Structure formats: structure tokens, C-alpha cells
């Protein structure tokens, strides 16, 4: 674990924020595109040699303080025995979406059998990185994974899953339950194989009302985050009307999207809750001086205590790599005033 | 103007909330689908006989207190001379999206020439309705309309337009400027032809950071809303991290999405700001007793002063019409405690 990371996750003061970027190992990197011309996405994530090289690209190129494993939120479908494929221009497609109880998986395979490639990847990363950077594992949250399973493909407003809640509440509950059980086993497995931090991505869950979130999803998030000893981060977009619910999950840190000022988010969460974020990824498409200004602004607004600098969402694929370098360098050059 | 509507818009106490639904004249209505088998969408909105019948369907069937003209946020492209078409399964498509200054329209045609059908529709509606229901006109907000113009089609996160702001700020500003000028003329025209309330739908603008909203869009919203004497309502989704910015537009009422509790939204806006909303449209897909309970809950949380009951977004097309009836009846049967 990188020492700045550890301190920020504990809510302590750091001279400068530790920094990494969501989707930092992706299409905007030429070497990534080169590797992906030889391997499909699913081959790349399930081949430890390739996944290790990809995961480390942003560490080697930019010196980020955190390295997230190169993987996918849908890898959990492997132990669950649910088939899916990635269709170009569409995204993940599940040919047999879940429509009734018979479609539900009855349990899940052991993680080292079904997703042994994830354990191997994490072991390699943590061995390579030591304390020079933090090895970050992750899982998709139950709402977000279920949205694909019920719709069979990406959707704009997650209506198929949202309507399941009111039209077939037992199926909704059972589906989320089996996903949560598998995710608990998955994050425990990641911890055992070298993950020093686990980030839970329930990206789409903000599409629920606050009441529905609290009734149905909050207990599941608590269950997943409670399953590991290592520090945890929760990310969900569009929760700015009830941000304190994310703190109630028990995550050690709340990752903030770009649609709220980070100082305001801290006010709402209270000063004791560490936060990650939240530069608008689109800012990295602008000129260098704007990137420096906007990055410094986020760091200053977030303040010196318990802050990991990140974007408010993943890196856009058209981002020039040198702009990511500027973002990381700006964080590393920053020094908080000492009082 | 329906008297309850008028009082709610002024922030006064009403015995029960006036009620209507965004996208209330749509595909979930059998008669609508029947009419649309004879007319394309653009034929239907531009033929006053047809558009009048469609606009009035939910009034006749459910007795809503507000009737929004059946139209489209992209009708403003007619006076601007920008071609578009509706592609089945995709949505609006603009074959020549705006990529540089040469693509910008130089001004706009007179409204009575270009969209005379809108004026005629509003005249018919206000004559038919009198004070039995409020005649509601509307326009799309500049960000939302520009998102289609720049991307050429619907997008998930409005990246093409958002990147224009950082990559080509002059084009961004000029495009929003010409859209705003046309929209000012458009809402003024609607007011002159019978609109008793104007709702501005800048549905997607929540994808900007709060800073970017305040710098670029807030002044444009102020300009549009300031152009008319009649009461105005503003709707934008995903603004819950900085809801007070919507009150700063000068709108008489802020329409709240379903992703925040309406009592919390009122707390943030302050008690003097009238609100509209905010039942999750998905609730109308559930059983009758749940709809009644959830609707009463919204009414109670919103309180007796300055509240128009609505959904937090448009009616889902798979909604059973009798569920919409339940929603409207629940509002009409409600009586706020008198103290």
C-alpha cells in the first residue's frame, strides 16, 4: 500500500493527494490499443500476462499512486455460470436475460476455479508494486450488474431492472441476493490474493429513488463492504440528492461524481468521511493550463484531509495521454498549506 | 388558468395539489397509438387537428389540471432551418451535425411562418380549456437541444457537446447563443398564442459540473425565462448537487426529478420556492395500492404550499392507462390538513 493512500483512506492529512484515475488502463493509451488488436477484451482480462501489462501501463507511464486491476464488472458472471459477450458498438450482451425465477443461477462456482485469472493478476500486481503504489481490486455493485442481466444489454435509464422492483419484487430481491452472495465471495477472494483496497462500482444505482436505495440496496452494499478487512471505496453516480447514504454503506471512502462541487459533497458527508474524486473527465480534453487550474481547484476544494484525487468518472477514450500526465503531475506537485 | 395551478405557482397553499404528468399524451394511450398509425410523429405535432386531439386525451380521460401542448423540444429547429428526422429505435437524427462555425444557423425565421402550427395548437387548447385546466407551452433548453445538434443523435452522456465546451469554447458559446435567441422568440410566441405557463426542459444539463452550469447555462436560462410574463417552470435532471442554481434561473417553479426526496429538495431550495414533482415514473408500473401510497407520500412530503404534483420524469410507454388514472384520482382525493 502506498503510504499516502493509506493515510488518505484513514482520513488523515496528506501533503498532497494520492492520485489515480478510473479507467486509467484503457483505449486512450496507444500500447493498450496495440495489445487489443491481438486479444479480445475478454481474452485480455483473463490472460494474466496481458492483464498485468495493461494494468501497469498508467503506473509506468504516469506514476499513478494506485493501480486498479484491468478487469470488468461482469467477470462475476463467470462463477455464476451466466454467458455474455461483448458486442462492438453495443457493449455487453446477455443472450438469455433473466426474466423469471428459473433463469436465476443456483449458487456460484469457487472463485479460484472460475476467476483464478483475477487472483493471479492481483498477486502479480501486488508483488510488482510493493508500497510504490496501491493494488486496487474491484467489483460491480449488484444493481449495476443486475441491470445488464435483466435488460440483456446496456440501457439508458435501467428501466427493465427498475420495473422489476415494482412488478416482480421477489425476483428482484432474489436476483440481487444471489449477486450479492457471489460478490461477497469475489471481494474476499481478491483480498486473499493481494488487493489492498476494494472499490465497489455500483455506477447506475443512483437511478433509484433514495427510499428504494435505502430499502433494497444499502443493506447489500453493507454486506459486500463488510466482507473484507482491507479499506473500501464506494462509487455510484447520481447520488447527490442523498450522498450520506453512501457513507452509511460502511465504505471507508466515498467516490464523488463530477456533478457536485467536492467541497459541498464533503459538507454533506461531514468532515470525517474521506472522499475520492472528482474532476470532470471532459476537462482532460481541454488545454494544458485549464487542466492544471481545474485539477488544483479540485485539490483545494477537497482540502488536505482524507482525499484521493481521481476523476468523477472514467477517462474518456479520446483523452490525449499527455493530458493524463498533466493531471498526475499537478497532483504530485501540489503541497497543501501547513497550519 | 386552473385556479389551483395559479395558486401553487405563486407558492400559496392549496387544499390538494394540482396534477398533470410529463409526457402524459403519449404511447401508453391506445388512442394515441391509433392516431400515430396514420401520422408520423412530425406530421402529428405539426397538424393542429391531430395535435389538439392528442394534447387533450389525458384531460378527457383522466381530468388532469394541466394540459401540455403535444409537441417536441426539437420544433425549434424548424425556424432555425436545421433538418432532422426521427429514426425508429434511435430517436432524432441530424444528418449534418454542427462541427464548426460554418454549420451555425445565421438567425431564425419568424415563428408564425416556421411554427405557426404551435400557435394554432395553443390557441385551440386555451379556448377549449378556459379555466378548467392550464394550457402549458414548453421549449427545450439550449444545452439539451445543442446535445442533439452536435452529436447528430441521442447520446448517453452528452460527451460530444461537453467536449465542445473545452475544445472549442467559442463555437460552444455561439451555438448556445443562437439557440437561446431563437428560444426567447419561441416562448414569447407561445405566450402570445395562449400558453398560460411555459416549462423549460433542459433535461440533460445536469451532466455539466456546477461551475460550468453557472458560467455558461444559467445566464441563458435566465434570458429565456425572463422573456415571458406568464409563470415559468424549469426542469433539469441530475441537478441535485446544486438544486439552488435552478431557483437562480428566475423560474417561478422548479420541477424536481425522482432521485431526491421532495422534502429534502424543498429544504435545499428554501420554503419560498414552489416545486413540481416527483413520483418515480416506474412506480406507475406497480400495483394500485402501491401507487396510491407512493403518490400520497409525495404529496405529504411536498407539503401544502406551492406544489404541483407530477412525475420526476416522463410517463413510461408501458404504463397501464388505469394506473395514470389512479395517480390523478389520488391527487384529487387528497386534502391537506388545515391548521
| Average pLDDT of span A211-233 | 98
Chain mean pLDDT for chain A: 97
Count the domains in chain B: 1
CB atoms B242 and A260 under 8 Å: yes
Q: How far apart are CA A106 and CA B171, in angstroms?
A: 55
pLDDT at B339: 60
B72 is catalytic: yes
Burial of A127 (0-12, 13-18, 19+ CB in 10 A): exposed
Beta partners for B234? B200, B254
| Number of residues that this document lists for chain B | 339
| Residue A29 belongs to some domain of the structure | yes
Verify whether residue A23 is a known catalytic residue.
yes
Residues B208 and A257: beta-carbon distance below 8 Å: no
Give mean pLDDT, residues A216-231: 98
- B162–A242: do the CB atoms touch at under 8 Å? no
Average pLDDT, chain B: 97
What is the per-residue pLDDT across B227-253, written as a single tens digit (0 to 9) for each?
A: 999 999 999 999 999 999 999 999 999
Q: Output the pLDDT for position A76.
A: 97
pLDDT > 70: what percent of chain B? 99
Coil, helix or strand at residue B190? helix
User: What would the pLDDT profile of B279-337 be if each residue is shown by its tens digit?
Assistant: 999 999 999 999 999 999 999 999 999 999 999 999 999 999 999 999 999 999 999 98
Q: Give the torsion sign (CA, B73, B197, B174, B211).
A: negative
pTM over 0.90: yes
What does the pLDDT read at residue B43? 97
Range list of β-strands (E), chain A: 66-68, 85-87, 91-93, 134-140, 197-201, 232-235, 253-255, 275-279, 307-311
Residue-wise pLDDT for B177-188, tens only, equals 999 999 999 999
pLDDT at A24 over 80: yes
Q: Are the Cβ atoms of B167 and A264 closer than 8 angstroms?
A: no
Residue B184 lies in a domain: yes
Catalytic residue among B7, B32, B65, B72: B72
Nearest to B257 by CA among B247, B265, B267: B265
Question: Is B87 inside a domain boundary?
Answer: no
- What residues contact residue B148 under an 8 Å CB cut-off, 6+ apart? B74, B84, B92, B94, B154
> Within chain A, how many helices (H) and strands (E) appear?
16, 9
Is residue B200 a part of any domain in this protein?
yes
* B105 Cβ contact partners less than 8 Å away, ≥ 6 residues apart: B80, B81, B82, B178
B91 inside domain: no
Which CATH number does the domain housing residue A308 bear? 3.20.20.210
- Who's near A152: CB < 8 A, 6+ residues apart? A93, A94, A95, A96, A97
Grid coordinates in use for A88? Answer: 462492438
Report the chain B residue with the minimal C-alpha distance to residue A154: B156
Q: What is the DSSP string of B90-144?
A: TEEE-SS---SGGGS--S---HHHHSHHHHHHHHHHHHHHTTSSEEEEEEE-HHH
Q: What contacts B29, CB < 8 A, 6 or more positions away?
A: B57, B58, B61, B321
Q: Which of B150, B237, B259 to mutate to test the interface with A (most CBs of A within 10 A)?
A: B259
Closest-CA distance, A12 to chain B, in angstroms, reads 26
Please tell me whether the peptide bond between B278 and the residue prior to it is cis, using omega within 30 degrees of 0.
yes
Whether B263 is in a domain gets the answer yes
Is residue A188 in some structural domain? yes
What pLDDT does residue A337 have?
Answer: 86
Instruction: Supply the pLDDT for residue A339.
Output: 60
For the stretch B34-88, pLDDT in tens is 999 999 999 999 999 999 999 999 999 999 999 999 999 999 999 999 999 999 8
**Does the pLDDT value for residue B338 go beyond 80?**
no
Tell me if A149 is assigned to some domain. no
- On chain B, the residues whose CB falls within 8 A of the CB of A285 are 163, 166-167
Contact B243, B218 (CB under 8 A): no
Looking at this predicted complex, what is its ipTM? 0.95
Write out the residues of chain B at the interface with chain A, using a CB-CB cutoff of 8 A.
156, 159, 162-163, 165-167, 206-212, 238-242, 258-261, 264-265, 280, 282-283, 285-287, 290, 316, 318
Report the alpha-carbon distance of residue A109 to residue A114 in Å, rounded.
6
In chain B, residues with a C-beta closer than 8 Å to the C-beta of A260 are 210, 241-242
Domain range for B326? 3-71+107-137+167-333
Residues of A with CB below 8 A from B209's CB?
A: 258-259, 261, 280
Q: What is the pLDDT of residue B89?
A: 85
Give, for A331, the enclosing helix (H) or strand (E). Answer: helix A321-333
Residue B266 has pLDDT above 90, yes or no: yes
Using the predicted structure, report yes or no on whether residue B156 has a pLDDT greater than 90.
no
Amino acid at each position: 500500500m502506498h503510504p499516502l493512500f493509506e493515510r488518505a483512506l484513514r482520513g488523515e492529512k496528506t501533503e498532497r493527494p494520492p492520485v489515480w484515475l478510473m479507467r486509467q488502463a484503457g483505449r486512450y493509451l496507444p500500447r493498450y490499443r496495440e495489445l487489443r488488436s491481438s486479444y479480445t477484451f475478454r481474452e485480455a482480462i483473463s490472460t494474466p500476462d496481458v492483464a498485468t501489462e495493461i494494468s501497469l501501463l498508467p503506473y509506468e507511464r504516469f506514476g499513478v499512486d494506485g493501480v486498479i486491476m484491468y478487469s470488468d464488472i461482469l467477470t462475476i458472471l463467470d462463477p455464476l455460470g451466466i454467458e455474455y459477450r461483448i458486442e462492438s458498438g453495443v457493449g455487453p450482451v446477455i443472450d438469455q436475460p433473466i426474466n423469471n425465477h428459473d433463469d436465476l443461477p443456483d449458487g456460484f462456482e469457487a472463485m479460484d476455479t472460475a476467476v483464478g485469472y483475477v487472483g493471479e493478476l492481483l498477486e502479480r500486481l501486488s508483488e510488482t508494486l510493493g508500497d510504490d503504489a496501491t493494488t486496487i481490486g474491484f467489483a460491480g455493485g449488484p444493481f449495476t450488474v443486475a441491470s445488464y442481466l435483466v435488460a440483456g444489454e446496456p440501457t439508458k435509464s435501467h428501466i427493465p431492472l427498475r420495473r422489476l422492483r415494482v412488478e416482480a419484487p421477489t425476483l428482484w430481491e432474489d436476483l440481487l441476493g444471489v449477486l450479492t452472495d457471489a460478490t461477497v465471495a469475489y471481494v474476499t477472494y481478491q483480498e486473499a490474493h493481494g488487493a489492498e483496497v476494494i472499490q465497489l462500482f455500483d455506477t447506475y444505482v443512483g437511478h433509484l429513488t433514495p427510499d428504494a436505495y435505502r430499502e433494497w440496496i444499502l443493506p447489500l452494499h453493507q454486506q459486500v463492504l463488510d466482507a473484507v478487512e482491507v479499506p473500501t471505496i464506494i462509487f455510484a453516480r447520481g447520488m447527490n440528492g442523498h450522498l450520506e447514504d453512501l457513507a452509511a454503506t460502511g465504505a471507508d471512502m466515498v467516490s464523488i461524481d463530477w456533478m457536485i462541487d467536492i467541497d459541498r459533497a464533503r459538507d454533506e458527508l461531514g468532515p470525517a468521511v474521506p472522499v475520492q474524486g472528482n474532476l470532470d473527465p471532459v476537462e482532460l480534453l481541454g488545454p494544458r493550463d485549464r487542466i492544471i487550474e481545474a485539477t488544483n481547484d479540485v485539490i483545494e476544494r477537497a482540502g488536505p484531509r482524507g482525499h484521493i484525487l481521481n476523476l468523477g468518472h472514467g477517462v474518456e477514450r479520446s483523452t490525449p495521454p499527455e493530458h493524463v500526465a498533466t493531471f498526475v503531475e499537478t497532483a504530485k506537485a501540489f503541497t497543501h498549506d501547513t497550519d
